[in-house]
């Protein structure tokens, strides 16, 4: 690629887009951190005010006893169900280990068999004390108690004909004259991350107020990646309201109200997704979240208060589903519930690259991944070669444009001498020269600009592709995170406390491209135009240091291919003698000016006359 003026303009635009993107991300992270600090300071002040002067074991015991007394007092007709011992039921399928608790008849812990956590054990979801699913149950006149406070002591299990397993937890009234009963049924299907959850009420007209089932689903997203800051930036809440998908990045706001029918709510933390879905939709609700400090190793704590309207009859039931699994586009799409829309294949200002990822990058990468099992790095290299082959016509046209510019170097040099530093006159004469020679000065710029969507598509793709998580290649331990073989032991502004080696190779190959291209380019009188190509690789060194090594490895391979193609095309494919002959042939042809060219020349002529008049007046 040759760096004529318009090519450099293209790279300026690319650099500005890079800078704008990373500046936007940094500002978002700053706002997020400030918000966390404010919330923590507020919560700490409240805690300090409420904290007793002494915090003794006796006081903790008194508090627990007071809570127990409160539960017993509000238990009403279910008084026998608030005392007991928690029973844990462990089950699962080929993908999940699931632990159910008889206390509240809810999910206690989920482990993903195909993924490892930061401690090298099976990755856990929904396993903290904060995680809870509950709803108020009417236990007597003017009395209610949360379902999570009851022990569902009757537990049954059954294996179904389709290979699924169902676990039924039953809560019955302690009053022999009251037949009220609640049953929680969980169905675990083979090879599925989705768990079916059904609630059956006997005496629903007594247990619920006017048929309102007000569910509270609490979820705590624990840190799963080494770079908690980057994971937070890629944490979002999503939902489908009134059949329309929407989402929020958690640092931008802290709640959303639902006034229309809602199909599901969920939390995505870069590579993992937890969803709570109502099979017949929630009628209304609210989702709110808080952002704990980094020291807690928790990204977000969310609470969804969702309402399901049931008929005011004796018997009633509500069906739900819960997804605990990877944020995998293919897996989520098969449910046909718009879950996959929260996978970041292009969002916000970069939503325009989502179709490119969906219909080109993703299927091609899946194909190469199948060809190279066990080597994601090789699959990325093959993807890079495919993309370069796809855009090879643009690449060739760019090099051809550069070769034409090189052929005109002597004439451009003579024009500089002729115009004697008059930039306006030089611009007019240069346009005439290009038109006579049949050279498009934008020939090197447009191909460079057209590659920008590809880069941003890959940026989104490599940040969201779960198969890259934990994939090792060369010195990188995880292609989904930055490689850091070089650690400083201290932090450098904008660079961090490490140096990514793939980032170094990407910046170095970018510098070599700039050096080779500038050696083939007419001399630039403008210092900015002369040195800008060398500044760009330095920007990359800082911008790319914390990005996934999959992206910097891709950029390294792409740059290496560019260097090879430049040398081969310039030395063995492009015939410079034919180019000169073609230029001479173009000069002999009659020229027609487009309206744009005519207007441009008229403007330049007017500016030149105005400048000449101003100079005469000064004399």
The per-residue pLDDT for range 303-347, each reduced to its tens digit, is: 999 999 999 999 999 999 999 999 999 999 999 999 999 999 998
Q: Are residues 326 and 398 in the same domain?
A: no
CATH code at position 333 = 2.70.98.90
253 DSSP 8-state letter: -
Q: Are residues 366 and 308 in the same domain?
A: no
Integer CA distances (angstroms), 463 to 23, 96, 432, 507, 598, in order = 18, 24, 47, 20, 48
First vs last C-alpha separation in the chain? 46
Range of the domain at 94: 78-342
For the stretch 196-233, what's the b/e string if a residue is b when 16 or more beta carbons lie within 10 angstroms of its beta carbon?
bbbbbbbbbbbbbeebebebbbbbbbbbbbebeebbbb
The whole-number pLDDT of residue 3 equals 42
Position 64 in a domain: no
CB 235 within 8 A of CB 250: yes
Closest CA to 21 of 330, 459, 436: 459
CB 193 within 8 A of CB 324: yes
Position 471 in a domain: yes
**CB neighbour class for 548 (10 Å; exposed up to 12, middle 13-18, buried from 19):** buried
Between CA 133 and CA 320 the distance in angstroms is 12
Name the β-bridge partners of 89.
Answer: 100
Position 614 in a domain: no
Q: Which positions of the chain have pLDDT values less than 70?
A: 1-67, 401-408, 421-424, 429-430, 433-449, 517-534, 574-580, 582-619
Q: Which two tokens stand for residue 123?
A: 């990755």
Q: Are residues 364 and 322 in the same domain?
A: no
Total number of domains in the chain: 2
**CB neighbour class for 133 (10 Å; exposed up to 12, middle 13-18, buried from 19):** buried
Between CA 8 and CA 12 the distance in angstroms is 6
Q: What is the 3-state secondary structure (H, E, C) of 348-407?
A: HHHHHHHHHHHHHHHHHHHHHHHHCCCCHHHHHHHHHHHHHHHCHHHHHHHHHHHHHHHH
Domain end call among 288, 311, 342: 342
For the stretch 380-401, what's the b/e string if a residue is b when 16 or more beta carbons lie within 10 angstroms of its beta carbon?
bbbbbebbbeeeeeebeebbbb
Q: Are residues 285 and 383 in the same domain?
A: no
3-state secondary structure of 102: coil
CB 548 within 8 A of CB 484: no
Angle at 411 between CA 410 and CA 413, to 5 degrees: 65
Between CA 213 and CA 204 the distance in angstroms is 10
Q: Which two tokens stand for residue 337?
A: 């519930």
DSSP string for 206-226: HHSBTTEEEEEEEEEEE--SS
Between CA 525 and CA 5 the distance in angstroms is 11
Position 476 in a domain: yes
Q: Are residues 496 and 362 in the same domain?
A: yes
Position 615 in a domain: no
CB 383 within 8 A of CB 555: no
Between CA 346 and CA 331 the distance in angstroms is 18
Q: Are residues 327 and 376 in the same domain?
A: no
CB 215 within 8 A of CB 258: no
3-state secondary structure of 121: coil
Mutual angle of helices 409-419 and 392-407, in 10-degree steps: 50
DSSP string for 268-289: EETTEEEEEEEEEEESEEEEEE
Question: Which runs of consecutive H residues, i.e. helices, occur in 391-546?
Answer: 392-407, 409-419, 423-437, 445-450, 452-464, 501-519, 527-543
Q: Which residues, other chains included, contact 146 with Cβ-Cβ below 8 Å and sequence gap of 6+?
A: 104, 134, 135, 136, 137, 216
3-state secondary structure of 577: helix
Q: Are residues 413 and 268 in the same domain?
A: no
485 DSSP 8-state letter: S
Q: Are residues 319 and 419 in the same domain?
A: no
3-state secondary structure of 175: coil
Between CA 26 and CA 30 the distance in angstroms is 6
The whole-number pLDDT of residue 241 equals 95
Between CA 459 and CA 354 the distance in angstroms is 11
Strand order in the sheet with 132-134: 132-134, 212-222, 298-309, 284-290, 255-258
The whole-number pLDDT of residue 283 equals 95
Integer CA distances (angstroms), 571 to 392, 400, 489, in order = 17, 12, 46
Q: Are residues 263 and 373 in the same domain?
A: no
Position 608 in a domain: no
Q: Are residues 120 and 152 in the same domain?
A: yes
571 DSSP 8-state letter: I
495 DSSP 8-state letter: T
Kindly report, residue by residue over 260-290, the tens digit of the pLDDT: 999 999 999 999 999 999 999 999 999 999 9
Domain end call among 284, 310, 342: 342
Q: Are residues 17 and 151 in the same domain?
A: no
Between CA 322 and CA 186 the distance in angstroms is 10
Q: Which residues, other chains included, contact 477 with Cβ-Cβ below 8 Å and sequence gap of 6+?
A: 483
Integer CA distances (angstroms), 141 to 180, 208, 251, in order = 15, 12, 43
Position 498 in a domain: yes
Domain end call among 342, 369, 394: 342
Give 3-state DSSP helix, strand, coil % of the chain, rounded to 5: 50, 25, 25
How much is the pTM? 0.79
3-state secondary structure of 567: helix
CB 204 within 8 A of CB 316: yes
Between CA 161 and CA 432 the distance in angstroms is 81
Integer CA distances (angstroms), 143 to 73, 206, 372, 445, 520, in order = 9, 11, 62, 73, 84
Between CA 44 and CA 47 the distance in angstroms is 5
Position 58 in a domain: no
CB 203 within 8 A of CB 179: yes
Q: Are residues 326 and 362 in the same domain?
A: no
């Amino acid at each position: 690629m040759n760096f004529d003026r318009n090519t450099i303009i293209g790279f300026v635009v690319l650099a500005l887009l890079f800078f704008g993107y990373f500046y936007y991300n940094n500002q978002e992270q700053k706002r997020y951190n400030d918000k966390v600090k404010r919330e923590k300071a507020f919560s700490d002040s409240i805690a300090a005010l409420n904290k007793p002067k002494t915090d003794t074991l006796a006081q903790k015991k008194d508090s627990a006893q007071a809570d127990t007394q409160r539960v017993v007092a509000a238990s009403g007709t279910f008084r026998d169900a608030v005392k007991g011992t928690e029973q844990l039921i462990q089950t699962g399928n080929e993908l999940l280990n699931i632990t159910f608790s008889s206390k509240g008849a809810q999910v206690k812990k989920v482990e993903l068999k195909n993924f490892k956590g930061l401690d090298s054990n099976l990755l856990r979801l929904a396993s903290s004390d904060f995680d809870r699913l509950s709803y108020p149950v009417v236990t007597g006149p003017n009395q209610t108690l949360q379902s999570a406070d009851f022990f569902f002591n009757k537990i049954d299990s059954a294996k179904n004909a389709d290979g699924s397993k169902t676990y039924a937890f039953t809560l019955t009234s302690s009053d022999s004259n009251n037949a009220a009963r609640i049953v929680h049924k969980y169905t675990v299907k083979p090879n599925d991350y989705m768990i079916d959850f059904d609630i059956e009420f006997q005496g629903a007209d007594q247990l619920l107020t006017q048929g309102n089932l007000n569910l509270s689903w609490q979820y705590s997203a624990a840190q799963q990646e080494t770079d908690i800051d980057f994971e937070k930036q890629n944490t979002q809440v999503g939902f489908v309201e009134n059949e329309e998908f929407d989402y929020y990045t958690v640092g931008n706001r802290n709640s959303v109200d639902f006034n229309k029918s809602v199909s599901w709510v969920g939390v995505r933390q870069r590579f993992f997704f937890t969803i709570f879905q109502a099979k017949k939709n929630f009628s209304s609700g609210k989702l709110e979240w808080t952002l704990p400090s980094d020291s807690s190793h928790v990204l977000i704590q969310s609470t969804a208060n969702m309402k399901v309207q049931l008929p005011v009859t004796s018997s009633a039931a509500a069906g739900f589903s819960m997804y605990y699994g990877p944020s995998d586009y293919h897996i989520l799409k098969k449910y046909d519930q718009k879950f996959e829309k929260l996978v970041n294949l292009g969002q916000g200002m970069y939503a325009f690259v989502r179709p490119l990822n969906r219909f080109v990058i993703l299927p091609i990468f899946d194909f190469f991944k199948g060809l190279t099992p066990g080597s994601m790095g090789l699959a990325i290299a093959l993807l890079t070669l495919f993309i370069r082959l796809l855009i090879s016509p643009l690449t060739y046209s760019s090099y051809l444009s550069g070769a034409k510019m090189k052929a005109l170097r002597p004439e451009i040099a003579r024009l500089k001498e002729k115009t004697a530093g008059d930039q306006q006159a030089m611009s007019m004469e240069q346009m005439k020269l290009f038109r006579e020679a049949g050279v498009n000065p934008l020939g090197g710029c447009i191909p460079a600009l057209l590659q920008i969507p590809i880069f941003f598509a890959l940026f989104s793709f490599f940040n969201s592709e779960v198969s890259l998580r934990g994939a090792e290649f060369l010195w990188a331990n995880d292609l989904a995170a930055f490689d850091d073989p070089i650690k400083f032991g201290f932090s450098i502004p904008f660079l961090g406390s490490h140096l990514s080696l793939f980032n170094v190779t990407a910046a170095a190959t970018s510098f070599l491209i700039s050096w080779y291209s500038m050696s083939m380019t007419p001399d630039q009188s403008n210092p900015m135009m002369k040195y800008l190509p060398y500044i760009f690789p330095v920007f990359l060194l800082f911008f790319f240091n914390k990005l996934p090594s999959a992206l910097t490895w891709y950029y390294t391979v792409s740059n290496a291919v560019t260097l090879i193609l430049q040398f081969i095309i310039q030395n063995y494919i492009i015939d410079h003698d034919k180019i000169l002959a073609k230029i001479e042939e173009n000069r002999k042809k009659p020229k027609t000016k487009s309206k744009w060219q005519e207007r441009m020349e008229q403007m330049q002529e007017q500016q030149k006359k105005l400048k000449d008049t101003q100079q005469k007046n000064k004399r």
